[in-house]
Amino acid sequence: MNRFLFILLLSSFCFSQTSIDNAEAFIAKKEFVKAQSEMTAFLNSNPNDLKAIELLGDAYGHQKKWDEAIEQYQVLKQKRPQNANYHYKYGGALGMKALSISKIRALTIIGDVKDSFHKAAQLDSNHIDARWALVELYVSLPGIVGGSFSKALNYAEQLEELSKVDGYLAKGYVYEYDDEPELAEKYYRLAIKIGGSVTCYDKLTEFYEGQEQPEKAIGNIEEAKDKHQRNAMHYQIGKVCADYNIQLDKGEAMLKVYIENHSAQDGVPKEWAYYRLAQIYRHRNNSKEALVWIDKAIAGLPDIDVFHEFKATL
Protein backbone atom coordinates (compact mmCIF):
# COMPACT_ATOMS: atom_id res chain seq x y z
CA MET A 1 0.00 0.00 0.00
CA ASN A 2 1.19 3.51 -0.75
CA ARG A 3 2.77 4.81 2.48
CA PHE A 4 1.01 8.18 2.25
CA LEU A 5 -2.35 6.49 1.77
CA PHE A 6 -1.69 4.21 4.74
CA ILE A 7 -0.89 7.17 6.99
CA LEU A 8 -3.99 8.99 5.75
CA LEU A 9 -6.21 6.01 6.50
CA LEU A 10 -4.62 5.52 9.91
CA SER A 11 -5.12 9.20 10.78
CA SER A 12 -8.75 9.00 9.71
CA PHE A 13 -9.32 5.90 11.88
CA CYS A 14 -7.69 7.55 14.89
CA PHE A 15 -9.83 10.66 14.46
CA SER A 16 -12.94 8.49 14.19
CA GLN A 17 -12.09 6.50 17.30
CA THR A 18 -11.23 9.64 19.26
CA SER A 19 -14.59 11.23 18.43
CA ILE A 20 -16.49 8.07 19.35
CA ASP A 21 -14.54 7.73 22.59
CA ASN A 22 -15.17 11.38 23.41
CA ALA A 23 -18.90 11.00 22.88
CA GLU A 24 -19.04 7.86 25.02
CA ALA A 25 -17.10 9.65 27.77
CA PHE A 26 -19.43 12.65 27.62
CA ILE A 27 -22.48 10.38 27.93
CA ALA A 28 -20.91 8.53 30.85
CA LYS A 29 -20.41 11.89 32.58
CA LYS A 30 -23.98 12.95 31.66
CA GLU A 31 -22.65 15.75 29.46
CA PHE A 32 -25.22 15.01 26.79
CA VAL A 33 -25.06 18.33 24.93
CA LYS A 34 -21.31 17.86 24.44
CA ALA A 35 -21.88 14.31 23.17
CA GLN A 36 -24.49 15.63 20.75
CA SER A 37 -22.11 18.32 19.46
CA GLU A 38 -19.27 15.83 19.09
CA MET A 39 -21.33 13.36 17.07
CA THR A 40 -23.09 16.01 14.98
CA ALA A 41 -19.73 17.40 13.87
CA PHE A 42 -18.32 13.93 13.24
CA LEU A 43 -21.31 12.80 11.19
CA ASN A 44 -20.99 15.80 8.88
CA SER A 45 -17.95 14.08 7.38
CA ASN A 46 -18.84 10.47 8.29
CA PRO A 47 -22.60 10.26 7.64
CA ASN A 48 -22.74 6.46 7.52
CA ASP A 49 -20.94 5.67 10.78
CA LEU A 50 -23.50 3.53 12.63
CA LYS A 51 -21.89 3.88 16.05
CA ALA A 52 -21.89 7.66 15.73
CA ILE A 53 -25.55 7.66 14.67
CA GLU A 54 -26.42 5.49 17.66
CA LEU A 55 -24.51 7.71 20.08
CA LEU A 56 -26.21 10.80 18.66
CA GLY A 57 -29.57 9.11 19.19
CA ASP A 58 -28.56 8.24 22.75
CA ALA A 59 -27.47 11.83 23.42
CA TYR A 60 -30.82 13.11 22.16
CA GLY A 61 -32.68 10.52 24.21
CA HIS A 62 -30.94 11.49 27.44
CA GLN A 63 -32.08 15.06 26.78
CA LYS A 64 -35.65 13.87 26.17
CA LYS A 65 -35.46 15.10 22.59
CA TRP A 66 -37.57 12.18 21.48
CA ASP A 67 -38.24 13.21 17.87
CA GLU A 68 -34.53 13.68 17.21
CA ALA A 69 -33.67 10.37 18.90
CA ILE A 70 -36.38 8.57 16.91
CA GLU A 71 -34.92 9.97 13.67
CA GLN A 72 -31.46 8.56 14.43
CA TYR A 73 -32.71 5.14 15.51
CA GLN A 74 -34.94 4.94 12.44
CA VAL A 75 -31.88 5.46 10.25
CA LEU A 76 -30.13 2.64 12.10
CA LYS A 77 -32.93 0.10 11.75
CA GLN A 78 -33.29 0.95 8.05
CA LYS A 79 -29.58 0.40 7.48
CA ARG A 80 -29.42 -2.74 9.64
CA PRO A 81 -32.95 -4.20 9.78
CA GLN A 82 -31.71 -7.41 11.42
CA ASN A 83 -30.17 -5.61 14.40
CA ALA A 84 -32.43 -6.24 17.38
CA ASN A 85 -31.03 -3.45 19.52
CA TYR A 86 -31.78 -0.79 16.91
CA HIS A 87 -35.43 -1.85 16.87
CA TYR A 88 -35.45 -1.85 20.68
CA LYS A 89 -34.03 1.66 20.93
CA TYR A 90 -36.41 2.94 18.26
CA GLY A 91 -39.36 1.48 20.15
CA GLY A 92 -38.07 2.88 23.42
CA ALA A 93 -37.78 6.41 22.04
CA LEU A 94 -41.25 6.13 20.49
CA GLY A 95 -42.63 4.91 23.79
CA MET A 96 -41.11 7.82 25.70
CA LYS A 97 -42.57 10.23 23.16
CA ALA A 98 -45.97 8.60 23.70
CA LEU A 99 -45.69 9.38 27.41
CA SER A 100 -44.93 13.04 26.68
CA ILE A 101 -47.88 13.80 24.40
CA SER A 102 -51.67 13.66 24.71
CA LYS A 103 -53.29 10.26 25.16
CA ILE A 104 -55.14 10.63 21.86
CA ARG A 105 -51.92 11.31 19.94
CA ALA A 106 -50.14 8.56 21.83
CA LEU A 107 -52.67 6.01 20.59
CA THR A 108 -51.49 6.62 17.03
CA ILE A 109 -47.95 5.42 17.78
CA ILE A 110 -48.50 2.68 20.39
CA GLY A 111 -48.78 0.11 17.60
CA ASP A 112 -45.34 1.05 16.27
CA VAL A 113 -43.90 0.88 19.78
CA LYS A 114 -45.26 -2.62 20.25
CA ASP A 115 -44.11 -3.74 16.79
CA SER A 116 -40.57 -2.51 17.44
CA PHE A 117 -40.25 -4.37 20.74
CA HIS A 118 -41.73 -7.50 19.20
CA LYS A 119 -39.25 -7.28 16.32
CA ALA A 120 -36.33 -6.89 18.72
CA ALA A 121 -37.48 -9.91 20.73
CA GLN A 122 -38.00 -11.92 17.53
CA LEU A 123 -34.56 -11.08 16.14
CA ASP A 124 -32.72 -11.81 19.39
CA SER A 125 -34.01 -14.68 21.50
CA ASN A 126 -31.73 -13.50 24.35
CA HIS A 127 -32.72 -9.82 24.35
CA ILE A 128 -33.72 -9.26 27.97
CA ASP A 129 -34.46 -5.53 27.69
CA ALA A 130 -36.92 -6.01 24.82
CA ARG A 131 -38.84 -8.59 26.83
CA TRP A 132 -38.89 -6.36 29.87
CA ALA A 133 -40.25 -3.56 27.67
CA LEU A 134 -43.03 -5.83 26.45
CA VAL A 135 -43.90 -6.87 30.01
CA GLU A 136 -44.18 -3.23 31.07
CA LEU A 137 -46.08 -2.26 27.92
CA TYR A 138 -48.72 -4.99 28.21
CA VAL A 139 -49.17 -4.23 31.92
CA SER A 140 -49.49 -0.47 31.46
CA LEU A 141 -51.78 -0.41 28.41
CA PRO A 142 -55.55 -0.55 28.93
CA GLY A 143 -57.14 -3.67 27.49
CA ILE A 144 -59.01 -1.59 24.93
CA VAL A 145 -55.74 -0.70 23.18
CA GLY A 146 -53.97 -4.02 23.56
CA GLY A 147 -53.02 -4.31 27.20
CA SER A 148 -52.94 -7.88 28.48
CA PHE A 149 -51.73 -9.39 31.75
CA SER A 150 -51.59 -12.84 30.15
CA LYS A 151 -49.29 -11.59 27.38
CA ALA A 152 -47.16 -9.75 29.94
CA LEU A 153 -46.88 -12.98 31.91
CA ASN A 154 -45.84 -14.83 28.76
CA TYR A 155 -42.87 -12.50 28.32
CA ALA A 156 -42.10 -12.81 32.03
CA GLU A 157 -41.88 -16.58 31.45
CA GLN A 158 -39.45 -15.96 28.59
CA LEU A 159 -37.39 -13.73 30.88
CA GLU A 160 -37.28 -16.46 33.50
CA GLU A 161 -35.78 -18.83 30.92
CA LEU A 162 -33.03 -16.27 30.24
CA SER A 163 -32.53 -15.03 33.80
CA LYS A 164 -34.24 -16.37 36.90
CA VAL A 165 -33.93 -13.02 38.67
CA ASP A 166 -35.41 -11.02 35.79
CA GLY A 167 -38.18 -13.56 35.39
CA TYR A 168 -39.13 -13.45 39.06
CA LEU A 169 -39.02 -9.64 39.15
CA ALA A 170 -41.15 -9.47 36.01
CA LYS A 171 -43.70 -11.92 37.44
CA GLY A 172 -43.82 -9.92 40.65
CA TYR A 173 -44.45 -6.79 38.61
CA VAL A 174 -47.24 -8.39 36.59
CA TYR A 175 -49.00 -9.90 39.61
CA GLU A 176 -48.67 -6.65 41.55
CA TYR A 177 -50.56 -4.74 38.86
CA ASP A 178 -53.00 -7.59 38.30
CA ASP A 179 -54.03 -7.17 41.95
CA GLU A 180 -52.62 -10.48 43.15
CA PRO A 181 -50.41 -9.26 46.03
CA GLU A 182 -49.66 -12.69 47.50
CA LEU A 183 -48.17 -13.89 44.22
CA ALA A 184 -46.36 -10.58 43.71
CA GLU A 185 -44.72 -10.85 47.13
CA LYS A 186 -43.81 -14.48 46.45
CA TYR A 187 -41.94 -13.68 43.26
CA TYR A 188 -40.22 -10.57 44.62
CA ARG A 189 -39.04 -12.73 47.52
CA LEU A 190 -37.80 -15.39 45.08
CA ALA A 191 -35.84 -12.70 43.21
CA ILE A 192 -34.15 -11.72 46.46
CA LYS A 193 -33.39 -15.36 47.28
CA ILE A 194 -31.83 -16.02 43.88
CA GLY A 195 -30.23 -12.64 43.18
CA GLY A 196 -30.22 -10.60 46.36
CA SER A 197 -29.21 -7.38 44.61
CA VAL A 198 -30.14 -3.90 45.82
CA THR A 199 -32.61 -3.71 42.93
CA CYS A 200 -34.37 -6.88 44.12
CA TYR A 201 -34.75 -5.48 47.63
CA ASP A 202 -35.90 -2.09 46.28
CA LYS A 203 -38.68 -3.71 44.23
CA LEU A 204 -40.02 -5.52 47.29
CA THR A 205 -39.78 -2.36 49.41
CA GLU A 206 -41.72 -0.37 46.79
CA PHE A 207 -44.30 -3.15 46.70
CA TYR A 208 -44.78 -3.08 50.48
CA GLU A 209 -45.13 0.69 50.47
CA GLY A 210 -47.67 0.47 47.67
CA GLN A 211 -49.59 -2.08 49.75
CA GLU A 212 -49.51 0.26 52.78
CA GLN A 213 -47.35 -2.21 54.73
CA PRO A 214 -44.62 0.05 56.17
CA GLU A 215 -43.51 -2.40 58.88
CA LYS A 216 -42.71 -4.99 56.23
CA ALA A 217 -40.99 -2.32 54.13
CA ILE A 218 -38.74 -1.37 57.03
CA GLY A 219 -37.92 -5.01 57.76
CA ASN A 220 -36.99 -5.56 54.12
CA ILE A 221 -34.75 -2.48 53.99
CA GLU A 222 -33.02 -3.58 57.21
CA GLU A 223 -32.35 -6.98 55.66
CA ALA A 224 -30.91 -5.26 52.60
CA LYS A 225 -28.81 -2.92 54.76
CA ASP A 226 -27.30 -5.82 56.69
CA LYS A 227 -26.37 -7.52 53.43
CA HIS A 228 -25.17 -4.60 51.33
CA GLN A 229 -23.96 -2.06 53.93
CA ARG A 230 -25.08 0.99 51.94
CA ASN A 231 -25.61 4.31 53.65
CA ALA A 232 -28.55 5.15 51.38
CA MET A 233 -30.56 2.46 53.17
CA HIS A 234 -30.39 4.43 56.41
CA TYR A 235 -32.27 7.19 54.60
CA GLN A 236 -34.80 4.74 53.17
CA ILE A 237 -35.65 3.44 56.64
CA GLY A 238 -35.94 6.98 58.00
CA LYS A 239 -38.18 7.99 55.10
CA VAL A 240 -40.65 5.16 55.70
CA CYS A 241 -40.72 5.88 59.45
CA ALA A 242 -41.37 9.58 58.79
CA ASP A 243 -43.99 9.01 56.09
CA TYR A 244 -46.02 6.52 58.12
CA ASN A 245 -45.43 7.90 61.64
CA ILE A 246 -44.04 4.60 62.94
CA GLN A 247 -40.85 3.55 64.77
CA LEU A 248 -39.89 7.22 65.12
CA ASP A 249 -36.86 6.59 67.34
CA LYS A 250 -35.46 4.20 64.77
CA GLY A 251 -36.22 6.65 61.96
CA GLU A 252 -34.44 9.50 63.75
CA ALA A 253 -31.39 7.36 64.45
CA MET A 254 -31.19 6.10 60.85
CA LEU A 255 -31.46 9.60 59.38
CA LYS A 256 -28.74 10.94 61.64
CA VAL A 257 -26.44 8.07 60.65
CA TYR A 258 -27.20 8.87 57.01
CA ILE A 259 -26.35 12.55 57.49
CA GLU A 260 -23.13 11.78 59.38
CA ASN A 261 -21.89 9.39 56.69
CA HIS A 262 -23.30 11.20 53.66
CA SER A 263 -21.42 11.33 50.37
CA ALA A 264 -22.38 12.18 46.79
CA GLN A 265 -22.61 8.45 46.04
CA ASP A 266 -25.63 8.14 48.34
CA GLY A 267 -27.80 9.84 45.73
CA VAL A 268 -30.27 11.63 48.00
CA PRO A 269 -29.11 15.09 49.18
CA LYS A 270 -28.76 15.58 52.94
CA GLU A 271 -31.50 18.19 52.80
CA TRP A 272 -34.08 15.47 52.23
CA ALA A 273 -32.89 13.75 55.41
CA TYR A 274 -33.31 17.09 57.23
CA TYR A 275 -36.87 17.22 55.89
CA ARG A 276 -37.60 13.68 57.10
CA LEU A 277 -36.27 14.59 60.56
CA ALA A 278 -38.58 17.61 60.56
CA GLN A 279 -41.48 15.27 59.78
CA ILE A 280 -40.52 13.02 62.68
CA TYR A 281 -40.36 15.94 65.14
CA ARG A 282 -43.74 17.17 63.96
CA HIS A 283 -45.17 13.70 64.58
CA ARG A 284 -43.87 14.11 68.15
CA ASN A 285 -45.56 17.51 68.39
CA ASN A 286 -42.16 19.18 68.72
CA SER A 287 -42.66 22.08 66.30
CA LYS A 288 -39.61 23.95 67.56
CA GLU A 289 -37.21 21.14 66.62
CA ALA A 290 -39.12 20.48 63.40
CA LEU A 291 -38.58 24.12 62.42
CA VAL A 292 -34.82 23.81 63.01
CA TRP A 293 -34.56 20.88 60.60
CA ILE A 294 -36.85 22.23 57.91
CA ASP A 295 -34.91 25.51 57.94
CA LYS A 296 -31.71 23.51 57.36
CA ALA A 297 -33.39 21.75 54.43
CA ILE A 298 -34.55 25.04 52.89
CA ALA A 299 -31.14 26.66 53.38
CA GLY A 300 -29.52 23.90 51.34
CA LEU A 301 -32.22 23.45 48.69
CA PRO A 302 -34.30 26.64 48.64
CA ASP A 303 -36.27 25.77 45.49
CA ILE A 304 -37.98 22.60 46.76
CA ASP A 305 -41.68 23.44 47.07
CA VAL A 306 -42.52 20.61 49.46
CA PHE A 307 -40.06 22.02 52.02
CA HIS A 308 -41.81 25.39 52.03
CA GLU A 309 -45.24 23.75 52.13
CA PHE A 310 -44.18 21.70 55.13
CA LYS A 311 -42.84 24.75 56.96
CA ALA A 312 -46.14 26.54 56.44
CA THR A 313 -47.90 23.78 58.42
CA LEU A 314 -45.80 24.27 61.55
Whether 230-314 and 146-229 are alike in CATH topology: the answer is: yes
Q: Which of 246, 250, 243 is nearest to 225 (CA)?
A: 250
Spell out the CATH class of 230-314: mainly alpha
**How many C-beta neighbours within 10 Å does residue 105 have?**
11
Q: Taking Cα atoms as reference points, which of 64, 114, 116 lies closest to residue 87?
A: 116
Mean pLDDT calculated for residue range 217-245: 97
pLDDT at 16: 57
State yes or no: pLDDT of 248 exceeds 50: yes
* CB 54, CB 35: distance < 8 Å: no
- Report the pLDDT value the prediction gives residue 129, as an integer from 0 to 100: 95
Give me the pLDDT at residue 7, please: 46
Mean per-residue pLDDT, 171-196: 96
Does the pLDDT of residue 119 top 60, yes or no?
yes
Q: What is the pLDDT of residues 260-289, one digit of tens each?
A: 999 989 999 999 999 999 999 999 999 999
Residue 68's identity, in one-letter code, is E
CATH topology of domain 146-229: 1.25.40
Positive or negative, the Cα torsion across 176, 178, 182, 183? negative
What distance in Å separates the CA atoms of residue 144 and residue 230, rounded to the nearest whole number? 43
The answer to whether the beta carbons of residues 275 and 301 sit under 8 Å apart is: no
Q: For residue 61, what pLDDT band results from cuts at 50, 70 and 90?
A: very high
Lowest mean pLDDT among 2-6, 49-53, 227-231, 235-239: 2-6
Rounded to the nearest integer, the mean pLDDT of the chain is 92
- pLDDT higher than 90, residue 183: yes
Domain boundaries, the chain: 146-229, 230-314
Angle at 40 between CA 38 and CA 46, to 5 degrees: 100
The gap between the terminal CA atoms of the chain, to the nearest Å, is 80
**Number of Cα atoms under 13 Å in the Cβ half of residue 70:** 16
- Across 11-46, b (16+ Cβ under 10 Å) vs e yields eeeeebeebbebbeebbeeebbebbbbbbeebbeeb
Instruction: Please give the pLDDT value at position 141.
Output: 80
Residue 202 CA to residue 94 CA, distance in Å, equals 28
Q: How confident is the model at residue 99 (pLDDT cuts 50, 70, 90)?
A: confident
pLDDT of residue 11: 46
User: pTM of this prediction?
Assistant: 0.84
Percent of the chain scored above 90 by pLDDT? 83
Distance CA 272, CA 300 (A): 10
**113, 187, 210, 239 from 205: Cα distances, Å:** 30, 13, 9, 12
